[in-house]
Amino acid sequence: MVSGLLLYFAFICYAQPAACSLFPPKRASETNMPQKMKRLQSEWGCVSRWKDKLPEFLGFMVCSLLSYITRFYKLSEPDHVCWDETHFGLMGSFYINRTFFFDVHPPLGKMLIGAAGHMSGYDGSFLFPPGDNYGDVKYMGMRIMCATLGASIVPLVYLTVLEWSLSWSAASITAMMVIFGEYQPLPPPACGAIAEKPTVQYRTTHSVIL
């Protein structure tokens, strides 16, 4: 949220450099300090513009909050290796251990995952077998880093559309599409359950047969 707020204020100052300039030009006639301060406040315009920009700010805050809430909700679940964690977690371990491997993708993503794991206390010894329980492995740092980057896309999309369209409603709708575009009312089957059973019931309406 702090990075999102800083991004918003930077956008405001970029879009209105004259209104938000911290060093407005001085005038020779400004000799009375109280009048000078009032004139500077009116020239900055940042405080007076908040009333007009309140819908934009509220839309930004609501979309950012929804983005972070949906990405961080039950982030520790499941507590076993799931989906692409098998590949990205293992490659992050290779970077932590300085082990050579051939990466078919640009390395920045795995390097960030490895850095997050290293800073959160993960030693790079886990091999990330599909469906295996993490146990005492400190995996949350890597998940938090990925969730933070994913959630930060929404504020960036909001500000981008706002800059293009000058419409907070269009920016909010686009941000909501990014937030809920991948939303699934029914969660997918657990990876561990798939690894253990040949058939997994999916809310009594679907099944995964391996």
Classify residue 113 as exposed, middle or buried by CB count within 10 Å of its CB (0-12, 13-18, 19+): buried
Confidence of residue 105 (pLDDT cuts 50, 70, 90): confident
Output the pTM of the full model.
0.64
Which of residues 175 and 1 earns the better pLDDT score? 175
Residue 138: is its pLDDT beyond 70? yes
Name which of 45, 52, 26, 79 is nearest 192 in CA terms: 79
pLDDT of residue 207: 30
Please report which confidence band the pLDDT of residue 177 belongs to, taking 50, 70 and 90 as the band edges. Answer: very high
pLDDT of residue 140 exceeding 70, the answer is yes
Dihedrals φ, ψ of 96, to 5°? Answer: -65, -40
Distance, first Cα to last Cα, the chain: 41
Of 13-27, 100-114, 138-152, least confident by mean pLDDT is 13-27
Instruction: Judge contact between 140 and 116, C-beta under 8 A.
Output: no
pLDDT band, very low/low/confident/very high, at 28 (cuts 50, 70, 90) = very low
Written as one letter, the residue type at 115 is: A
Q: Which amino acid is at 199?
A: T
pLDDT at 53: 82
DSSP string, 41-71: HHHH-HHHHHHHHHHHHHHHHHHHHHHHHHH
**Residue in the block written with tokens 């504020």:** 155
DSSP 76: T
